[in-house]
Chain A
């Protein structure tokens, strides 16, 4: 039984990683309606930003978000304004543009680092918490806590704040929102910036867990897309819950079946969910076509 609880803990903590990466991706999809292939590269930039902050300023990775998150927000705003806004109304071109961005970011970082695998260290990296028979790394607990906090905060922001309401309004119907006086382009830019900033936060918190490489973003993005579709396109709660489900599925399959089979099992579950509930667990039918909608 200890084994079972241990693997559940492992799955929850892994789910935290997926949730953290997927929340920003889902916000961008739900509001701006762009399938952002470069989201993994924004996570990668967050990791390298953390490394740079540690090297240049001696910052602990858990302090680095103070610098990295605003920078990624600014980068996201710039990417939207300069690259994606001119392609409005051409969704396929926007997808290709994000793919081009993916390649560009990956290769620029590659050229700068020459592919050397960097690591950052925190005083917390080597702390392992023992809960009865369970043993878990503190860094992973921090990621799960942050993912939970981000999901709650983002949900609260979208529900109660004025800019949040504006974001929801343009997600539901951009023309009506424009008629109500909302600056749609500006809100799209802010939404994309928030999604990118969340990827930067994920990068900071994940940096102590991994050895960085310019390609590491690709490792996150495939499961993150599965999380988003599984949880429901455009749903913050869906991204969070989807991440936890994917984490648990992978951990249980990896432990009880075979680690080499866990991706196969995950995507089997993914296909089954799509067949039974095409809109995802928390999504609303049609959201993938018309953006985030709310039930009334």
Chain B
């Protein structure tokens, strides 16, 4: 075909119409965020809690006018394991036409789902999965707004060295620690960082590993008891942590301080052990909504939002961490001007907000692997049947540490 001025004009006009059509179309549509979490199976209540808090964040943004002139919508797909994580992403992208993906309560699901998201050219925004490897992979479509297992490990070492050693009038080098961890990737990754940090601090420590599915863990407790540590710290799941604590009680194992990482801060442990036994136990945990407002601005407003919407108390502190993660994602999309993962990652990487900007006490400064370096758990403590933040001081807001050494 001969190119004339008329045909050239027609082609240009057609091209302009074609390229402008999606943006005109996009103005009227919602931004769909695919939420990958376990909504059935043993972790359903926590997966559900995360996605409910994603929804709270999007509803809050929608009430303020949405993002880029568009409303936000959470679309769920359930994944209870890695294989289902891949299928969930395929379903969300292929059938539901989501623009970005967010998750995840379980690291293994995040690992598989984020790779599937990359294959589909979508952003995978991580809020809650802890395994350090997830960001260390350097996937170009992946960022984590919350803390990783390294931050949990670092807080536990701070708890031992700064809180327990001071209470026992010991130096770090005089402190004896026992590190107990379950033997899957979760417990092992936390231990690896604890190992590095305790060596740096010159702390003496012993190590015990166990299976989270074991019927009995008295042998693990007896090994720890023989070492007579000042601090006994454990990384595990709810069932094995409760079993360890029951065995410790039966065996009369009473270390001056106990630190539990990631678990032990819910009603499940309170019901199992009772408030008298738990009194003074330290917990490495996400900031809870009732944390000091000066440390976590907006936490009280989040709690009100949650209570008004769901007519109950939050099930676990993971929820507020998910809420904050979704808020940061929405801000990144707004700054990026679109949902393409390259743009959103670039926009997120440009954020520089100090600690204490968000409800969980977080700021934002992503490193080169897109791990937020200003997201930390707090140290909390069981006090009279309630979990109270006690460290850092700003989070504690004057709440004193009790029962160390344990009575």
Residues of A within 8 A of B (CB): 3, 6-7, 10, 14, 17-18, 110, 114-119, 121, 126, 128, 130, 135-137, 139-140, 209-211, 213-216, 218-220, 223, 247, 250-251, 254-255, 258-260, 262-263
Which chain B residues (200-251) contact chain A, with CB distance < 8 Å?
208-211, 213-220, 222-223, 226, 238-239, 242-243, 246-247, 249-251
Q: How far is the CB of A252 from chain B (nearest CB, A)?
A: 8
A117 to B266, CA, bound (A): 10
Instruction: Please tell me if B268 contacts chain A, counting CB pairs below 8 Å.
Output: yes
- 14 further A-B pairs in the complex, CB-CB below 8 A; given A17-B215, A211-B242: A6-B222, A10-B222, A14-B218, A110-B40, A115-B43, A118-B271, A119-B271, A128-B250, A128-B252, A135-B250, A209-B243, A210-B242, A258-B209, A262-B214
Residues on A with beta carbons closer than 8 Å to the beta carbon of B220: 254, 259
Instruction: Please tell me if B274 contacts chain A, counting CB pairs below 8 Å.
Output: yes
Residues on B with beta carbons closer than 8 Å to the beta carbon of A254: 219-220
A209 to B214, CA, bound (A): 13
- Known A-B contacts A14-B218, A216-B239, A259-B208; A3 and B226 likewise in contact (beta carbons under 8 Å): yes
- Known A-B contacts A3-B226, A136-B250, A260-B211; A110 and B44 likewise in contact (beta carbons under 8 Å): yes
Residues on B with beta carbons closer than 8 Å to the beta carbon of A223: 215
A selection of 23 A-B contacts at a CB cut-off of 8 Å is A6-B222, A7-B222, A10-B218, A17-B216, A110-B44, A115-B45, A117-B272, A136-B250, A137-B247, A209-B246, A210-B239, A210-B242, A211-B239, A211-B268, A211-B272, A219-B215, A247-B216, A251-B216, A255-B219, A255-B223, A259-B208, A259-B211, A259-B217
* Contact present for A251 and B219 (CB under 8 Å): yes
* Contact present for A211 and B42 (CB under 8 Å): no
Q: Which of B45, B216, B243 contacts A114 (CB 8 A)?
A: B45
Residues on A with beta carbons closer than 8 Å to the beta carbon of B208: 259
Q: Which of B43, B215, B246 contacts A220 (CB 8 A)?
A: B215
Residues on B with beta carbons closer than 8 Å to the beta carbon of A18: 215
Chain A, Cβ-Cβ closest to B217: A259
Residues on A with beta carbons closer than 8 Å to the beta carbon of B243: 209-211
Q: How far is the CB of B183 from chain A (nearest CB, A)?
A: 5
- Known A-B contacts A7-B222, A263-B211; A214 and B242 likewise in contact (beta carbons under 8 Å): no
Q: Which of A14, A114, A117, A263 contacts B238 (CB 8 A)?
A: A117
Q: How far is the CB of B207 from chain A (nearest CB, A)?
A: 10
Which chain B residues (22-52) contact chain A, with CB distance < 8 Å?
40-45
What are the nearest 8 A-B pairs in CB distance?
A: A254-B219, A137-B250, A119-B272, A117-B268, A260-B209, A211-B242, A255-B219, A119-B271
* Contact present for A219 and B213 (CB under 8 Å): yes
User: What's the dominant secondary structure at chain B's contact region?
Assistant: helix
Chain A, Cβ-Cβ closest to B247: A137
Chain A, Cβ-Cβ closest to B220: A259
Residues on B with beta carbons closer than 8 Å to the beta carbon of A6: 222
Q: How far is the CB of A14 from chain B (nearest CB, A)?
A: 5
Residues on B with beta carbons closer than 8 Å to the beta carbon of A137: 246-247, 249-250
Residues on B with beta carbons closer than 8 Å to the beta carbon of A130: 252
Q: How far is the CB of B389 from chain A (nearest CB, A)?
A: 24
Residues on B with beta carbons closer than 8 Å to the beta carbon of A214: 42
Report the interface size for chain B: residues with CB under 8 A from the other chain: 37
Q: How far is the CB of A134 from chain B (nearest CB, A)?
A: 10
A18 to B215, CA, bound (A): 9
- Known A-B contacts A110-B44, A260-B211; A7 and B219 likewise in contact (beta carbons under 8 Å): yes
Residues on B with beta carbons closer than 8 Å to the beta carbon of A209: 243, 246
A203 to B277, CA, bound (A): 25
Digitize B165-182: 1 where CB-to-A-CB distance is under 8 Å, 0 elsewhere.
000000000000000000
A130 to B45, CA, bound (A): 40
- Known A-B contacts A14-B215, A119-B268; A260 and B239 likewise in contact (beta carbons under 8 Å): no
* Contact present for A121 and B274 (CB under 8 Å): yes
* Contact present for A116 and B268 (CB under 8 Å): yes
* Contact present for A14 and B216 (CB under 8 Å): yes
Residues on A with beta carbons closer than 8 Å to the beta carbon of B219: 7, 10, 250-251, 254-255, 259, 262
A210 to B241, CA, bound (A): 10
Q: How far is the CB of A206 from chain B (nearest CB, A)?
A: 9
Chain A, Cβ-Cβ closest to B242: A211
Chain A, Cβ-Cβ closest to B208: A259
* Contact present for A260 and B216 (CB under 8 Å): no
Q: How far is the CB of B18 from chain A (nearest CB, A)?
A: 49
Q: How far is the CB of A222 from chain B (nearest CB, A)?
A: 9
A115 to B49, CA, bound (A): 13
A213 to B42, CA, bound (A): 8
Q: How far is the CB of A241 from chain B (nearest CB, A)?
A: 18
A118 to B45, CA, bound (A): 13
Digitize B138-156: 1 where CB-to-A-CB distance is under 8 Å, 0 elsewhere.
0000000000000000000
Q: How far is the CB of A238 from chain B (nearest CB, A)?
A: 20
Chain A, Cβ-Cβ closest to B273: A119
Chain A, Cβ-Cβ closest to B241: A211
Q: Which of B215, B226, B238, B249 contacts A128 (CB 8 A)?
A: B249
Most buried by B among A116, A137, A211, A223: A211
Residues on A with beta carbons closer than 8 Å to the beta carbon of B211: 259-260, 263
A118 to B266, CA, bound (A): 11
Digitize B258-300: 1 where CB-to-A-CB distance is under 8 Å, 0 elsewhere.
0000000000100110100100000000000000000000000
Residues on A with beta carbons closer than 8 Å to the beta carbon of B217: 259
* Contact present for B222 and A117 (CB under 8 Å): no
Digitize B42-73: 1 where CB-to-A-CB distance is under 8 Å, 0 elsewhere.
11110000000000000000000000000000
Chain A, Cβ-Cβ closest to B40: A110
Residues on B with beta carbons closer than 8 Å to the beta carbon of A136: 250
Chain A, Cβ-Cβ closest to B216: A14
Q: How far is the CB of B50 from chain A (nearest CB, A)?
A: 14
* Contact present for B42 and A110 (CB under 8 Å): yes
* Contact present for B216 and A116 (CB under 8 Å): no
Chain A, Cβ-Cβ closest to B43: A115
A140 to B250, CA, bound (A): 10
Residues on A with beta carbons closer than 8 Å to the beta carbon of B242: 117, 119, 210-211
Residues on B with beta carbons closer than 8 Å to the beta carbon of A259: 208-211, 214, 217, 219-220, 223
Q: How far is the CB of B122 from chain A (nearest CB, A)?
A: 29
A118 to B219, CA, bound (A): 24
